[in-house]
Chain A
Amino acid sequence: MTKDLEPHFPVPAGALSPASVPAAEVRDMRFRWPGGRFDLRVDSFKVEAGERVFISGPSGCGKSTFLSLVAGILVPDSGEVLLAGRSLKGLRGSRRDRLRGDLIGFIFQQFNLVPYLGVLENVLLPAKFSPLRNARAAEAYGSPAAAAGELCRRLGLDDGVMGRPVSRLSVGQQQRVAAARALLGRPPLLVADEPTSSLDDDLRLAFLKLLAGECRQAGSALLFVSHDRSLAGEFDREERLDKLNAGRVV
C-alpha cells in the first residue's frame, strides 16, 4: 500500500505530502469577524500526515470558522496556515482555491451533492477542478472514473444507488457519496464539518468507521469537526476548540 502512495508520474515538487510533513499546520493565527462575533486565536495546531484529529466544541464556538481558515477560504488577520508544508500566507485567492482543490477533500454537514449531477459525476468533481487529483485517481485505477467506481463500491454504494438521481438518495447514502468524492485522488487532508449530524445514531458510527478506514487506506489525514464527543473514540487525538482558542467568545 505504501508503494501505492509513491507517484508513478512526475508531480510538482511537494505536491504530495511526505510522511514527515504535517497535512495541515496553524501558527499564531488570529482572526476576528468584522462584526466582532468572536476572536479566534490559535497559537499552534497541527494535523500530522495520516493522522485522525477530532475537533469538538459547543455550538457557536467557531468550529466552521476554524475549518474555513484551515482550508484557506478565510484569511487570518495574522499568523499563518500551512497545507502539506506550504504556507497560504500572501497567496492570491485563486492560488489558495487551487491548493484547496489539490490538497483537501471536503465533507459538509449536509447538501453535499450537486443536485443535477449523477452519483459518479459528483464523485468525479474534484478531478475536474484539480489536475493533480485527476492524475492521482487515474494512477491507481487506470482512470478517474474507475477510481470513483471503486471508491463508491468500497463505501457500500451499490449499482442501484449509482443510477439514481442524487436527490433521491437517503441522507446516509448522500454522505457516503460525499465521502467518496472527498477521497478521490487521495488528498493529504480530509476536512469533515459535522458530516454525521444529520444521520441516525446507528448510522453515525458506521459511517465514521467507514470514513476512518478509507482515510487510512488512502493515507489521508482526517480533520473531523463535531459537537458530539461520543465519536471521539475513533480518532487518534481529540482537540477541544474552546480550549485551543486563546481568544474570547462573545
Chain B
Amino acid sequence: MARFAALLGLALRSAWNRRLTLMLVVFSISLSTMLLVGLERIRGQARAGFLQSVSGTDLVVGARGGQIQLVLYAVFHLGGAANNMGWDAAQKVAARDDVAWTIPLSMGDSHRGYPVVATSGDFFERFRHRRDTGLEFASGGPFADVFEVVLGSEVARKLGYGLGRDVVLRHGSGRAGPEHGDKPFEVVGVLRPTGSPVDRSLYINLASMEAIHIDWRGGAPVRGFSVSAERARRMNLTPKSITAMLVGLKNRRQVFNAQRDIQNAPGEALSAVMPGVALDQLWNLLGTGEKVLFLVSALVTATGLMGLVSSVLAGLGERRRELAVLRGLGARPLDILTLLSLESLALTLAGVLLGIAALAALLLFLGPVLNDLYGLPVRLSPPTAREWALCGAVLAAGCLAGLVPAVRAYFLSLGDGLAVSS
C-alpha cells in the first residue's frame, strides 16, 4: 500500500511536471466528458420534461381512436381529433365511483397559431406537470366568466399581451380560418412558465367555447344569423361535446380496471389512455436522433482518449532514463506499468472532473436561457445514475487506453534495465 501511494505520488508529480503538454490532453478529455454528459443531461431532462408534460393524470379519455393521437391532441394540442366525445358520456365518466376529478378539454380554435383550450376552472386547480407541480399565475387569476381568457407564459411573452388586453380567437388551428371577431375575449390571467405545452396555449371557459360558436354551424358563421355577445351570455351554454378529458383516480392502482371499464362501457365508444405509457411510446419513436447524438459524442470521447495515448507514448522516449533510475532503486517492471497507468488514470480523472465542473458552470448560466428560449428544462442538479455511469465509462476507457503506453514502458524497462545512458 505504501508502495502504491509512492507510485501514485510519483505519477502525479511526473504529470504535474509536464502539465503544459498534458493540459491539452486534459482539456480534450474534459470537452468529451462535457459533451457526453451534457447531451445525456439534455436528453434525460428533455425526456423527463416530455413524460411529465402531464403529471398526476391517470387517464386521458376521448372518442375511440389511436392512443398516441389522443395524447398528442389532449396534452400537446397537436393534430386534430377525429371525433369528439359527448358531454353526457363525459359526465358518466366523471360520475364513476373511482374517479376523483376530471378536467374536460375542448379544442379547435386558435389565436395567432397558439391553440385555444376550453376547459373548466378545475384545470387551474388540478392540472399537474413535472413531478406534481401545479399551475401558478404570474398575474391575474383564473377565468370566472365567459369571454375571459388566461394565457400561457410563452403566449403572453411572445405576443406582448398583458391583463385587460382584448383577444380575438380564430376558428380552426391555422392562421387563415374565419375569426370570432364579434366576440372578443379579455385577458384576465397569465400563467407562470411551466416548460410544458401549457406555456403555448390559451385557456377559456367551456361555456365561452359554446358562446362563440352559438351562431356557427359546420365550421362557419351561419349567414344572416348572428347572436351578440350579450345575448349569447344569457343563453344555455352547456357544451354538447368535448374533445377529451383528463381523469384523476381516487386510487392510482385501479387504473387498469378503470381503463378497461371505460373502454368497454356500453354506449358511446371511448378510448382511455395512460398518458405516461403513450408519451413513452412517442418518445421512443423519436429516439433515433438521440442514438446518433450519443454515437457522435462517444466518438469524440474516443478521439480525446487517443490524444491521451499519443501524448503519454510520445513522452515515454524522454522518460526512459527516469524509468531506468527507478528500476535501479528497486522498482519492478510491474511498478513501471502501474506508474504509467496511474498517470493516465489521473489525467482522465482530471479531465472528467474538469468536464463535470465546466458542465455545471454552463448549466448554471445557460440552463435558464435554454429553458426560456427552447423550453428545454435543463437544470443544474446532482448527476443522475446514468450520468455517473457515463463518467465511469470514460474513466474506464481512459484506464484501458492508458494501458497502451504503460505496457510499452513495461517492456522498455524490462529490456533497458539500467542500460539507458542518455
Contacts and interface: CB of A to CB of B under 8 A. Distances in A.
* A and B from one complex: yes
Interface of A: 64, 67-68, 71, 73-74, 93-94, 97-98, 100-102, 106, 108-117, 121, 125-126, 128-131, 181, 193
Contact of A98 (B332, B414, B421): B332
Interface in B387-422: 414, 417-419, 421-422
A126 B6 CA distance: 11
A53 B332 CA distance: 28
B418 A71 contact: yes
Cβ-closest 10 pairs across A and B: A101-B330, A116-B17, A128-B6, A129-B330, A73-B417, A106-B328, A97-B332, A94-B332, A116-B13, A111-B321
B82 to A, nearest CB: 74
B385 interface: no
B227 interface: no
B256 to A, nearest CB: 65
Given A114-B322, A116-B16, A116-B17, A64 B419 contact: yes
B328 A100 contact: yes
A171 B117 CA distance: 86
B334 A94 contact: yes
A113 B325 contact: yes
B333 A93 contact: yes
A182 B8 CA distance: 22
B2 A131 contact: yes
A108 B330 contact: no
A67 B331 CA distance: 17
B3 A68 contact: no
B366 interface: no
Given A94-B332, A116-B14, A128-B6, A108 B417 contact: no
B11 to A, nearest CB: 10
19 contacts: A68-B417, A93-B333, A94-B333, A94-B334, A100-B330, A101-B329, A101-B331, A108-B328, A108-B418, A109-B421, A111-B422, A112-B325, A114-B322, A116-B16, A116-B18, A128-B3, A129-B326, A130-B330, A131-B2
A237 to B, nearest CB: 24
B327 interface: yes
Contacts of B328: 71, 73, 100, 106, 108
B419 A68 contact: yes
B359 to A, nearest CB: 31
A68 B324 CA distance: 12
A97 B331 contact: yes
Nearest to A117: B13
Contacts of B329: 101, 106, 125-126, 128-130, 181
Nearest to A121: B13
B268 to A, nearest CB: 81
A249 to B, nearest CB: 18
Nearest to B318: A115
A111 B326 CA distance: 12
Interface in B332-349: 332-335
Contacts of A94: 332-334
A116 B18 CA distance: 9
A72 to B, nearest CB: 10
Interface string B8-47: 0010011011100000000000000000000000000000
Given A98-B330, A117-B13, A128-B3, 6 more contacts: A115-B17, A128-B10, A129-B329, A129-B330, A129-B331, A193-B418
